[in-house]
Structures are given as structure tokens and as C-alpha cells.
Amino acid sequence: MVSPSKRRNLLVLWAVFASSALAAGYTDPKGRFALDAPEGWKVQAAPDGTSVVFVTADDVARMIVLPLEVPETASLGEVAAAYEHFLGQAAPNSRLKLEKEAQVRVAGLPAVRREYVVEEGGNAAGRVVTTFVKAGKLSLTLHTSARGAEFDKYAPTFTQCLGSLRLSSAAAAPEPTGDIQAKLDALEAAHRAGVLSAEEYARKRASLEAQVKPAAPQMDAATRQKLDALEAAHKAGVLTDEEFAQKKALILQSAAPQLDEATKKKLEALQAAHLAGILSDAEYERKRAELTGGAEQPARPAQPAAAPPIVTAKKGKVYRHAIGFSFWYPEGWAIREQEGFLQLTPPNPGQKDGSPTELYFVTGESVAGENITGPSDPRVAEYFDTQVRTLTPALQRVGGAEQVPMAKGSGAGLHWEAKGAAGDIVRAKAYVAIIGDNGVALVAIGLKERLDVRDAECRQMFASFGFGEGEKDAALVGNWHLTSTSALTNQSPFETDWSRARMAADRTSSLALRPDGTWTRRDSYHMLVGAGGTWLEDKNEKSTEGRWNTSNGMLYLMGKDDTWDEYKYQIRQASGGRQLVLVSAKNAQLWSEAR
């Protein structure tokens, strides 16, 4: 299915569960950084915070973190050169042979990863992969190594450790914009080539870094989560630029610190001077930041926040992957980008003795040129079987490939089971789809009881893969109408006029399904409650819109507000015209075609 060099990505998925799980944490005594430590590994930390070493009990693999205060003008290349010089002095009988260098990101910052082969006496003795990252004056060298050919076995643990690195707000430096970063890269290249002296390089670099906008103050977790969800919806195309800007302004407005009257007047005067052309954009932003303490003060949107929906649909977020497909995932789940795959974490993940009992991943691999047109191709199942047997021979396939419905076509579900050391059933699942020239899979592995609880949500996420590219049943195109009326009356002779209350409520809904794949729904609710000659009235209206698809008798509605609804549908011919039956997990609805 894929070349051997690409198979490491999926091996990582299975190895994460088979290897020791991440549980304990390490925090730098100076408070500059923190990261997760592998459970069961020994931790050897210098009291002054100059180094920390994580090592396996058998001393086969280790990870060393070396924090160092360096000049702000120091480049990652200079940090790496100092590290190699240090290793040469510490191990004079060994030789590091650089095999590969790559530009990566760690903790949201640009970093350099170098892979070495350790040679002793002319023979390969092991592998070392070192990552260099720098934030302001703090540089971190993250050295990972293993003896002999054991490195691949511990690679998943190393990857998770690096992915868990967290820098303090004081250490984290503002990230340069694309144009400034490009200039910094060119400057460093010129310095390495000897075109610029160290003094010229330091002066020009300092000038460029001075143009970087200071980092905004830290947001609380709830605000950051809302902004992340909003940005995901915007990138997925479910929010227009205007809607995105308006909703972002609302979120920031609610989170922004309140300004005193004197500061507000100064800001108004500052804005007037800016509009009059007295202050340039740069001067205005600088003076505004001084007044607000760097906090972003968005303008109040012209429109009020939308009222809560009459019928609350399942909320979630939209993630768009770099290879071009997007998918919906439920509220409460979190996505973390790892090297070669996405790690999905459900709310309240299961743990036992400090180790996870359930893990979920999404991975993608190219199948271009291999003539694989669908997940039913036998090579797909053979590929996953090989990965499972390579890492965990005890897991055995259960049954054949299951057909799993999706917004576009169908996917395949593969299942494996084994009995764990404690007698529990361990299960692995892979939901696989072929989208264009890419094979995409949602992989779950853990205790059977935990995976069973999440199965419905996993299937829902998988069904949304490639949403927007699916089929549309032309028979559904049209305007549909739904009305429901309910009434209650207390006629007991033992009640008074005031306690003999009456209630009547009408709910009217219209649903327009268009040929271009867009939909609009309008709900109105009207209720009257009366007692003792006094009546109270309540009215509410709500409009929602989004895109729709159908597949295998299922209707999928994805809203611009990140809601996701799915129904089994059937069209009936009645004496009064066509009817649309929609059945969800909660209820059944009978819609009539509007005339």
C-alpha cells in the first residue's frame, strides 16, 4: 500500500499503546519549561536546572534536556554547533555522523532536528536524534538516543515527549511573521556563507527582531478553546470572513479586560488622530498597545449575539487536514498534531495505574500509482494486518472487513482483539477510507469496554471525512415543512381558576435543500400559558444553514455553527403530496413538501 519508508507513521500509532504510556511530568526548577516524562523511566535532574535525563531501567534509551541561556542573537545553527563540540569533548572515542537535518516546529516555535549515527571504532553503535529550539534567550537541546538498533522501538515515546514540551509565557518569544521570518532565514544563510561578519549579522538580526509584534497576553483556556473552534470552522469554509470576524470580536469582547473611563477617552482621541492621518498605522498600534497593556480591544459588533437554538444539535468543531480533507469532531474532544499523524483525545480519557486505556489517531498515506480505488481492496486489510502483527502479535483479526457508511460512499472497518495481561479484552479498530489518492484512517486501540463507549462518536467522525465531496440525492431537493402542536389543560374539580392552568404551543419548521448542496432551516416557536384570566406569550425564532450530502440512505447536515446532524431518510408519496421521513437517534419526524 505504501513504501517501507512511510510505514513508520502507522507503526508509531500502534507502538504508542504497546510502549510505556506518558503519565508523570517534569517542571524546570526555574519555571522556564515543562514536559511529560515516560512512566517507568528514571529521572535524573540537576538541582540547579542545568540538565535533566530520562533513562529506561535497562539504560538502553535515554532523553537528555539541556537548557541554556544564550544571547538573543544566537542562531539555532550556533546552538547546534556548540552541542556537537560538547559531545566531541564528552565522548572522544565516539564520532557523530550527521545523516539528516530538517526544519520542524516544537511548542509552536521554529526548531531544527538533526539525526546522527554514532560510530565507535568505525562501526555504527546507535542513533541519536537531537532537536534544537530557542525562545528569546532560552535555548533547549533535546537529545534522544538508543543503543544498537533499538531507536525505532522508543521513537513513539520520544515523539510524545517532544510534543508535550510547554514553555512558560516568559520564555516564549513572539513568532515573526512570514516576511520577517524569510528575511531572518536569508540573513542566517548569508552569515553561514561568510558574507556577513558576526557583528553585522547580530546587528541586522536585532533590527529585524525588533519589528516582531510583542506576544499578546495569555488567554484563559475557555477563551482559547472558543477561538480555536472558530478558526477551525473558518478554515473549513463553514464561516464566511465576515461571520468569522464578527464572532471573534464577540469572544474577544467578552474576554477583554474592562478599561476605566480615562483610558477609554484616550483611546477615542487616539483613534481620531489616526483617522485624521496625524498618526501612522505603526504609531497608532504602538500607542494603543501602551494604553491597553497589549490586550486586543475589538470593536463591538453591530449585531447582537445570536439567540440559543430552539433545538440544540450536537456541537463540535471542524478540522481541515493538510492533505485536503476535513472532518468534524465532537465538542470535548481535542486534536494534537504529531509527526505523521493526529492524536485525538476524548473527554475524560480512561486510565489505569497511570496509563491510558484508550488511544485514538487519524493518519493519512498516499496511494497514488498503486491502483487502489477503495477500502475493499485486499491490500488495505493486508497492510493493517502486517502492522498489527509486527508490533503486537497477540492481536488477531476478528471477522472480515465491515462496511462503514460515510458522507461520501463507504469506508471499511477492521477489528482485532486479544486478552490482556490482567484478563481484560484489548481491542484495536481501524476505519479506513480512500479519498482521491490518499488512504485515510481513524485508528482506535484500548480496552474493549472503553472503545465501545466511544464507538458511536468515532463512526460519526469517520463518516464526516471528506464532507462536502459526497453525493446528493436529487429527490431530496425542495422545500419541506414541519408543524407540531401541543396543549395541556388541568381540568381537575379540586383546582382553582389560578391552578387550573392551560398551555398551547406551536412549533413550525421549514427546511430548504438546494441542488448546490446548501441547506437552510428556519424554526419558529409560539407558546401561550394562561391561568386565572391572565395569559403569557413566548415567541422564538432561529435560522441555521450549512451543507448537505447523502449516502446509503443517510442524510448528513453540517451547519455553519459547527453542528452535525445525521438522519436515515425515506421519501413517501401521500395523497397530499410527497412526505420526507427523517429518523435520528433521538426522534422521528414527518415533513411535508411545501407547495
Report the DSSP pairing between strands 402-405 and 577-583. unpaired
CATH superfamily name and code, 474-593: NlpE, N-terminal domain (2.40.128.300)
Q: Is the pLDDT of residue 565 over 70?
A: yes
Is 478 in contact with 577 (CB distance < 8 Å)?
A: no
308's CB contacts (< 8 A; 6+ apart) are none
pLDDT of res. 272:
59
Pick the CATH number of 4-167 from 3.40.50.920, 3.30.230.10, 3.40.1000.10, 3.30.420.10: 3.40.1000.10
How far apart are alpha carbons 365 and 383 in whole angstroms?
12
Q: How far is CA 295 from CA 271, 336, 525, in A?
A: 16, 27, 41
33's CB contacts (< 8 A; 6+ apart) are 27, 67, 138, 140, 165, 166, 167, 168, 171
Centroid of chain to Cα 317: 9
pLDDT of res. 591:
92
Q: Is the pLDDT of residue 91 over 60?
A: no
**Of 120, 209, 105, 229, nearest in space to 167 by CA:** 105
Is 227 in contact with 195 (CB distance < 8 Å)?
A: no
pLDDT of res. 5:
38
- Going by pLDDT thresholds of 50, 70 and 90, the confidence category of residue 520 is very high
Indicate if 316-463 has the same CATH topology as 4-167.
Answer: yes
Backbone angles phi and psi of 36, in degrees to 5: -80, 140
586's CB contacts (< 8 A; 6+ apart) are none
- Going by pLDDT thresholds of 50, 70 and 90, the confidence category of residue 280 is low
pLDDT of res. 313:
42
The more confident residue out of 522 and 531 is: 522
> Could you tell me the residue ranges of all domains in the chain?
4-167, 178-209, 316-463, 474-593
Q: Is the pLDDT of residue 46 over 60?
A: yes
pLDDT of res. 104:
83
- Going by pLDDT thresholds of 50, 70 and 90, the confidence category of residue 78 is confident
pLDDT of res. 592:
92
- Going by pLDDT thresholds of 50, 70 and 90, the confidence category of residue 311 is very low
Q: Is the pLDDT of residue 260 over 80?
A: no
118's CB contacts (< 8 A; 6+ apart) are 94, 95, 96, 97, 124, 125, 126, 127, 128, 145
Q: How far is CA 220 from CA 159, 217, 233, 332, 337, in A?
A: 27, 10, 20, 16, 21
- Going by pLDDT thresholds of 50, 70 and 90, the confidence category of residue 576 is confident
- Going by pLDDT thresholds of 50, 70 and 90, the confidence category of residue 293 is low
Residue range 139-161: mean pLDDT, rounded: 85
pLDDT of res. 16:
42
Q: For the domain 316-463, what is the CATH code?
A: 3.40.1000.10
Computed over every residue of the chain, the mean pLDDT equals: 74
382's CB contacts (< 8 A; 6+ apart) are 1
- Going by pLDDT thresholds of 50, 70 and 90, the confidence category of residue 230 is low
pLDDT of res. 476:
93
Residue range 195-199: mean pLDDT, rounded: 70
pLDDT of res. 514:
93
Q: What is the sign, positive or negative, of the torsion defined by CA atoms of 299, 304, 308, 311?
A: negative
Backbone angles phi and psi of 89, in degrees to 5: -75, -35
The percent of residues above 90 in pLDDT, for the chain, comes to 11
**Of 482, 490, 494, nearest in space to 589 by CA:** 482
Q: How far is CA 553 from CA 335, 375, 472, 567, in A?
A: 30, 20, 11, 8
Q: Where in 28-93 does DSSP place strands (E)?
A: 33-38, 42-45, 52-55, 61-69
Sort 534 into a burial class: Cβ within 10 Å, 0-12 / 13-18 / 19+.
exposed
Residue range 361-377: mean pLDDT, rounded: 84
The more confident residue out of 391 and 386 is: 386
- Which stretch, 202-206, 436-440, 571-575, has highest mean pLDDT? 571-575
What residue has cell string 504497546? 18
Q: Is the pLDDT of residue 52 over 50?
A: yes
Is 201 in contact with 187 (CB distance < 8 Å)?
A: yes
Residue range 573-590: mean pLDDT, rounded: 85
Q: Is the pLDDT of residue 358 over 60?
A: yes
**Of 56, 35, 64, nearest in space to 163 by CA:** 35
Taking the CA atoms of residue 41, residue 98, residue 390 and residue 327 in that order, the dihedral angle to the nearest 10 degrees is: 90
Indicate the DSSP class of residue 51: -
Q: Is the pLDDT of residue 314 over 60?
A: no
